[in-house]
Structure 1
């Protein structure tokens, strides 16, 4: 077909011919000249499918027509050249910044919590390092007026890939190639994954204070009874004895159970809740080479008694020089 045609022509030409008056900037005199120019033949159409033979750009999506009023989809993003040019594409950056800020605040609070398992562990440090690196890039995307959506998508791919390291799968999923004509289809899946990965609960360690009520008898109050359902309990032991001796003797000489049952357990020589040795401590607790770790077996018949007991009792026999005990409640991954 023809490349140029008149504006009122019905042909499929790429350009519309027009007349414009211009000034000859190379002339010493102010000389005006009328010349022919060509403008792209752009039309606005309402269609469900692309118009054959034309390059089509989706600029809006109609949800419904109500009372002669067109209702547009406010979640639709047109193919903008600058991310901040439209509230939807700008909102994608804002959403990720909000999620990252929330995660950073959680990690910072956990690092400063004296009741946590020795502050941040390796898992958390890697997460903190990665998010601190990304937050400034994201803030730059929010402030700049020159960031193309493909730059944002590339950075989101990087964030999702690194966050996948902390997921159960460990491997990053594959995402669609960037499609400038369909930004929503490209961005929504990766935004969903970033939100999910940042909201993963990796479990936290809560130190339960052990109070010595009598020689070799301790009591630990549990502030939230839901911990008995949703947490694992770990006893950390250090003493002036060889580690193998602690590992072998402590479970046999220590009685653990609900505070309401401790007198009965000790006086009638009931087994109490079994202590099971852990070769390595949970990652939520700092690992100390001179300490031995045991977890409480929640399958014990005594465990349901914690529904009415608010404390954990510990009683042990024998001589334990330089004894140090810690009791941890660790939120289980869900």
Structure 2
């Protein structure tokens, strides 16, 4: 069997919509008719492979002295807030294990509309849960620790309405770097 046929079989079997698909029997004289045999399956499968599974959100730091260290991350579109899995990646000048323990205690996450109220009233906000492993959908960066945001929390609806996350970190985490990612789980 030629390499193209093997690749075609793999791509079509990988696509969940074609799971029960069985490869056709091909004779050696059929090398030029692969597109006829596989149809548009190649394009659909390659489209799935090339479609980004995760999107990095821009974290904006407010102007010094204006919002008391609040950072925001706009979400491009309300559907993403409903269907996406949100991952916070953090790195600081400390052991990753220590960061995994300290950051969830020092960070408050909410919508851009309610973050100042969370800080003022000393409410916890949306839980930030340390991830056991690096999420495979996002690029690996050495030294980063990964956290998931709980979409079942009561404040999540406000994030869906405002299409923006907001963060406030109390205390000092030296050399802190943050990245916000959303993994798109929406079906086409």
Instruction: Pick the TM interval, shorter chain.
Output: 0.7 to 0.9
Whole-angstrom CA distance in 1 between matches of 2:91 and 2:13: 34
- 1:111-152 deviation digits (Å, cap 9, x = unpaired): xxxxxxxxxxxxxxxxxxxxxxxxxxxxxxxxxxxxxxxxxx
Residue in structure 2 matched with residue 294 of structure 1 by the alignment: 147
1:322 aligns with 2:175: yes
Q: Per-residue deviation at 1:280?
A: 2.3
- 1:215-268 deviation digits (Å, cap 9, x = unpaired): 542112223222102322111101011111110111121100111111221122
Q: How does 1:1-334 map to 2 (within 5 A)?
A: 157-164=5-12, 166-167=14-15, 174-178=22-26, 190-200=38-48, 203-213=52-62, 214-332=67-185, 334=187
Whole-angstrom CA distance in 1 between matches of 2:20 and 2:53: 25
Relative to structure 1, the CA distance from residue 239 to residue 179 in structure 2 (aligned partners, 3 Å threshold; closer, same or farther) is closer
Whole-angstrom CA distance in 2 between matches of 1:301 and 1:240: 33
Q: TM-score scaled to structure 2, two decimals? A: 0.77
Relative to structure 1, the CA distance from residue 226 to residue 194 in structure 2 (aligned partners, 3 Å threshold; closer, same or farther) is same
**Contact between 2:96 and 2:144, CA under 8 Å: does it hold in 1?**
yes
After superposition, the CA RMSD in angstroms is 3.1
Task: Give SS of 1:255's match.
Answer: strand
**Contact between 2:54 and 2:137, CA under 8 Å: does it hold in 1?**
yes
Task: Give SS of 2:5's match.
Answer: helix
Relative to structure 1, the CA distance from residue 308 to residue 280 in structure 2 (aligned partners, 3 Å threshold; closer, same or farther) is same
**Contact between 1:164 and 1:172, CA under 8 Å: does it hold in 2?**
no
Relative to structure 1, the CA distance from residue 187 to residue 309 in structure 2 (aligned partners, 3 Å threshold; closer, same or farther) is closer
**Contact between 1:251 and 1:274, CA under 8 Å: does it hold in 2?**
yes
Whole-angstrom CA distance in 2 between matches of 1:165 and 1:223: 32
Which gives a bigger RCO, structure 1 or 2 (Cα 8 Å, sep 6+)? 2
Residue in structure 2 matched with residue 135 of structure 1 by the alignment: none
- Unaligned runs of at least 5 residues, structure 2: 29-33
Q: Per-residue deviation at 1:156?
A: 5.3
Residue in structure 2 matched with residue 84 of structure 1 by the alignment: none
Q: Per-residue deviation at 1:305?
A: 1.2
Task: Give SS of 2:136's match.
Answer: coil
**Contact between 2:82 and 2:160, CA under 8 Å: does it hold in 1?**
no
- Unaligned runs of at least 5 residues, structure 1: 1-152, 181-185
Q: TM-score scaled to structure 1, two decimals? A: 0.46
